[in-house]
Structure 1
Amino acid sequence: MTPTNTLEDPRVSASLDRMFRHAEQDEETSRRARAALPQGSAPLGPQEQADVNAEVYMPISAQGGRLLYNLIRAVRPATVVEFGTSFGISTLHLAAAVRDNGTGRVISTELSAAKAAAARRTFAETGLDDVITVLEGDARDTLAALTDPADFVLLDGWKDLCLPVLRLLEPRLAPGTLVVADDVDLEDLAPYLDYVRDSRNGYQSVTFPVEDGMEISCRL
């Protein structure tokens, strides 16, 4: 019997290939978006950043996606919580693992209405929409209504919000829960990293060297 790997489903692999190709233009797309802003404008808030970057993919790496898939397959979480859907590259990796586990669901959050709509279309096209729920809006609001335990957490939204989102979810994190944050090299993630790397805050944390780095923290 051939083992099941939904990442190799033609619908899923084609969608991932398409989005990774588009993401190769992120630097140019982001440059145009910044250039369109009025000179001397005030720093942007989360919603304004989301609107300005509505065409920027900001994906995890292909290796990072496979790492997430493997972690989900091994941990077999009932509820996966993702902060930062974007166009859905990381979400597809999470959902493919959930599908292959035969149990679980993915709850993802996205501040950009345009990205949330595009991601939902992709999830429907790949046949994974039945295991994915996209909560549109500020994750600090949408995840506040979460009542079930968060059995696995991926933090890949705005880096300065990763720590507030983690603190919001902490009452729902059982001992042994894995929390993964992407892009450890980004300065805005520093307060989050300082927090999870301090064992007094209840985590054992390790940096996994994939692309820009992923911080994998175990709730103690």
Structure 2
Amino acid sequence: MVAGTEIDLRLIGSLYREYRDPLAEVRDAQRAFLDGMRGRMTPQLDDIEAEITYLLLRETRPETVMELGTFHGWSTTWILSALRDNGKGTLHSFDIVDNVVANVPEELSLGRWEFHKGDIRENLASVPDSIEYLFVDAAHNGRFAKWYLAELFPMIAPGTPVSVHDVFHGRYALPLTEGAAVLSWLRGRDTEFFTPSRRRAPAPHTALLELREELGLDKPVHTGRNNPMIYFRMPRQRGPLD
């Protein structure tokens, strides 16, 4: 993916076609992984947003990925699968609980994963330099969002791909939520985003369903189907005179 390429339906559709075969293998592996967890795993990412995350990571080929929020490790295993298939890259995951540590298979984690337990607000010194993909799925309240928008986002270089989960469970983000804070921040920087949300963006959502069916990727990995995540490129940080 060329630096600065807009994350939109056209790009994502092209990535589905380019990486169709390895994506199919990962989907099968994730389905088997979920079955093997026997109820000990609660997937947070729905299938389309998990697949888009994988595809963007494959195309971006980042050296360093940061994941803010892990819960049981569903997103962690998707991210690590992309880094494995790239043959490069390290994931730094941050959470206040460590359920993920017992869940991520060693064949995915070994040599490519570092888990940091603790409140990120007290642990900024552990954030790696030169993050090339940022994945956010942590506390979803507006207060925490305003913190990371002010403290973490300025550490990320302009143009870096970013994904934020749980923004569009409905047509609009609810007031005082993380989603509302992030969307306001993006509007203030004239920055576009893409979402596969069924309720916010039904036409792109339907187009992706049809493409996945065409490519033979329509068998569900798990049952979620809201896909509330947004994707965008980190805008230039505003200076004191902006």
- TM-score, with length taken from structure 2: 0.64
1:207 is the counterpart of 2:214: no
Q: Which residue of 1 aligns with 2:153?
A: 170
1:169 to partner: Cα distance: 2.3
- Within 5 Å, give how 1:55-70 maps onto structure 2: 57=42, 59-70=44-55
Q: CA RMSD in A?
A: 2.7
CA distance in 2 between counterparts of 1:78 and 1:104 reads 4
Tell me what 1:195 maps to: 185
Give the length in aligned residue pairs.
179
Pair 1:182-2:165 in alignment: yes
Counterpart selection for 2:134 from 117, 133, 153? 153
Higher helix share: 1
Deviations 1:172-199 (A, max 9, x none): 3222101111111353121122112322
**1:98-113 correspondence runs (5 A):** 98-112=83-97
Structure with greater proportional strand content: 1
Residue 219 of structure 1 is matched in structure 2 by 234
Residue segments in structure 1 that go unaligned for 5+ positions in a row:
24-56
Q: Please report how far the alpha carbon of residue 214 of structure 1 lies from its aligned counterpart in structure 2 after TM superposition.
A: 1.5
Q: Among residues 11, 15, 21, which one is paired with 2:33 in the alignment?
A: 15
CA contact (8 A) 1:208 1:216 kept: no
Amino acid at match of 2:26: L
Query: Aligned in 2, Cα 1:82/1:191: closer, same or farther, shift over 3 Å?
Result: same
Q: Deviations over 1:116-149 (max 9, x none)?
A: 1x31122244543431111111122223432411
Question: Structure 1 CA distance, aligned partners of 2:56 and 2:163?
Answer: 10
Partner-residue secondary structure (3-state), 1:87: coil
Counterparts in 2 of 1:120 and 1:147: CA distance versus 1, 3 Å: closer
Residue in 2 that maps onto 1:140: 121
Residues 43, 74 of structure 2: 8 Å contact kept:
no
Tell me the amino acid that sits aligned with residue 158 of structure 1: A
Contact in 2 for aligned 1:181/1:214 (Cα 8 Å): yes
| TM-superposed deviation, 1:62 | 2.1
Question: Is the contact between residue 204 and residue 219 of structure 1 (CA under 8 Å) also seen in structure 2?
Answer: no
Partner of 2:10: none
Name 2:63's counterpart in structure 1: 78
Structure 2 counterpart of 1:195, one-letter code: W
Q: Percent identity?
A: 27
TM-aligned CA distance change 1:84 to 1:215, over 3 Å: same
Structure 2 letter corresponding to 1:193: L
Between the aligned partners of 1:125 and 1:9, the Cα distance in structure 2 is 18
Query: For 1:88, which of 69, 73, 82 is the aligned residue?
Result: 73
Given that 2:49 and 2:227 are in contact with CA atoms closer than 8 Å, whether structure 1 keeps it comes out as no
| Consecutive unaligned residues in structure 2, runs of 5 or more | 1-20, 199-225, 236-242
